[in-house]
Amino acid sequence: MDVGKIPKRRTGLGGEHPLCDTIQLIMIIVFFAAWGLDLFGFFVYGYSTVLIGLVPLPLHLGPAFVSLGFGLYLIEESHKAVFGENQDQLKLIYSGVYSWVRHPMYLGILLVCLGLFFANLSVLSFLVWLVFFIFYEKMATYEEEDLVRIIGEEYINYQKRVPKWLPKLRSRN
């Protein structure tokens, strides 16, 4: 393989939370373990998935597909925006999905997990999802504080224009 053709790994402007990758991996494993065990009836089936018998199929599969689809879209588009181009000069990305929400990759992962929760309505997986969200909130706050320190006013203005978690799909007039 020609070393000259290996793309450089793009690093961000600010630093990630020190335990970002480790905790994300642990949370994903715990979420999928709880969800999968409930799905196949190996865990606390009957208690954790009691909601599945109370909610008609279209009322939980509809949100499941919407959440999964939108989550996967956010992950793909934010990944393209951050890693898709080799940029010699790092700059704040505030177009595309980054104009809707400040943390589209994190939100996308949360929405995929939420969609899986809707698929089988496992109370246990929802509780794991809540812990996952709390972790992402703390991690995003840590990273934003670093970006304010590094970029300053430009990032503060971005924070004022773009919501942290609930996407703004239309621009304000």
Q: For the chain (length 173 residues), average pLDDT per consecutive 10?
A: 40 67 87 78 58 77 94 93 68 87 94 90 87 93 91 92 85 48
pLDDT of residue 89: 60
Residue 91 forms part of a structural domain: yes
pLDDT of residue 144: 92
pLDDT of residue 49: 65
Domain with 82, as residue range(s), is: 19-161
* Residue 30 tokens, joined: 């715990």
* Domains in the chain, number: 1
Residue 125 forms part of a structural domain: yes
Residue 97 forms part of a structural domain: yes
pLDDT of residue 99: 92
Residues whose CB is less than 8 angstroms from the CB of residue 164 and which lie 6 or more positions away in sequence, other chains included: 101, 102, 103, 140, 144
Residue 73 forms part of a structural domain: yes
pLDDT of residue 10: 41
The whole-model pTM stands at 0.80
Residue 135 forms part of a structural domain: yes
Residue 108 forms part of a structural domain: yes
pLDDT of residue 157: 94
Report the alpha-carbon distance of residue 93 to residue 74 in Å, rounded.
14
Residue 4 forms part of a structural domain: no
pLDDT of residue 103: 94
Phi, psi of 109 (to 5 degrees): -65, -45
Residue 131 forms part of a structural domain: yes
